[in-house]
Structure 1
Amino acid sequence: MEEKELAELLHLVSRRLRHGYLHRLVPLGLNPGQARALRALADAERPLRMVQLADQLRIVPRSLTPVVDALEEAGLARREVDPANRRSTLVMITPEGRALAERARDARRQAGEELFAVLSDGQRDRLRELLTLVDEQFR
């Protein structure tokens, strides 16, 4: 059997994880981008400016607009003018959004637990250490 490249293996495992996560998000009425935005808003200590939220999600602000539109339409977030800078818009998570963010976080955790169930606790810890090391290189 041919040995796969590390990058290819990581890509395949990531796709499986995303698929499992997406499968769990659909019943919640969320897509992964909306779930990420809710998570960022839920984790923030205060409302975020649109630009700050886009930066945290590593997307351009114009790509964030439809995400926030959908969250606002669903009653999960709301926009307000920033009183400190009237040209800026703040995004605030609603109580419903906070509850759904937690359910989405659980969905992601469950997808990961299912995918990595084949590994022992020690192997999962080591994989976490290695992936953290790689990730920190790019922060």
Structure 2
Amino acid sequence: MTAALQRIQSLPSWLVGRVAARARGLVAEALTAEGLKLMHHAVLAASSEYGPVAQAELGRRIAVDPKDMVGILNELQQAGLVLRAPDPADRRKNAITVTPEGTAVLTRCAALAEAANAELLAPLTADEQSQLMVLLKRVYEAP
């Protein structure tokens, strides 16, 4: 390995990016047990938190392109996890709500994601895991 490459790979930004990619991979793999992809899970969770919510508003809140949101919601609706219905406040819009099955899937996905994160942090002691979380939150919340 060259000195230039070693320098790059020793940067916090490099290491955080590699760890983030591994973490996303572990969670994505875990969610396949429920037939979901990461973005399906995010849209389902946001629908649960904000719903009933207009489809366009949901996309804005979680920064998903409207064209992508349509496809994701189509798949979630086909799976019986969300419902689209005319928004009572504006019949020209669709309001998204999570079905009881969608709520059950979210509960199972939370357990799957926790297990994937436990696997990610397994090389660390419990104290190190706590310390890492404190430090990551501090970096994340910094201006």
Is TM > 0.5 for Structure 1 vs Structure 2? yes
Q: Does 1:8 align with 2:14?
A: yes
Higher mean Cα deviation, 68-77 or 98-107? 98-107
Match of 1:11, as an amino acid? G
SS of residue paired to 1:118 = coil
- The letter for the 1-side match of 2:111 is D
Q: Which one of the candidate residues 91, 105, 110 is aligned to 1:100?
A: 105
The one-character-per-residue Cα deviations of 1:68-112 (angstroms, maximum 9, x if unpaired) are 000001110010111111122110100001101111121111111
Residue type at the aligned position of 2:11? E
Return 47-56 or 64-73, whichever deviates more: 47-56
Contact in 2 for aligned 1:39/1:105 (Cα 8 Å): no
For 1:31, the equivalent position in structure 2 comes to: 37
The correspondence for 2:27, drawn from 17, 21, 25, is 21
Amino acid at match of 1:85: D
Moved beyond 6 Å, runs of 4+? none
The worse-fitting range, judged by mean Cα deviation, of 123-132 and 99-108 is 123-132
- Distance between the aligned counterparts of 2:22 and 2:79, measured in 1? 28
| Counterpart residue type for residue 71 of structure 2 | P
Question: Counterpart of 2:75?
Answer: 70
Q: Deviation at 1:60?
A: 2.1
Query: Separation in 2 of the partners of 1:77 and 1:14?
Result: 29
Aligned length: 137
Q: Distance in 2 between matches of 1:135 and 1:121?
A: 21
Q: Distance in 2 between matches of 1:82 and 1:129?
A: 41
Does residue 120 of structure 1 match 2:121?
A: no
Structure number with bigger Rg:
2
In structure 1, runs of 5+ residues without a counterpart are none
Identity of aligned residues (%): 28
Gaps of 5+ in 2: none
1:31 is matched by which residue type in structure 2?
K
TM-score (structure 2 length as normaliser): 0.86
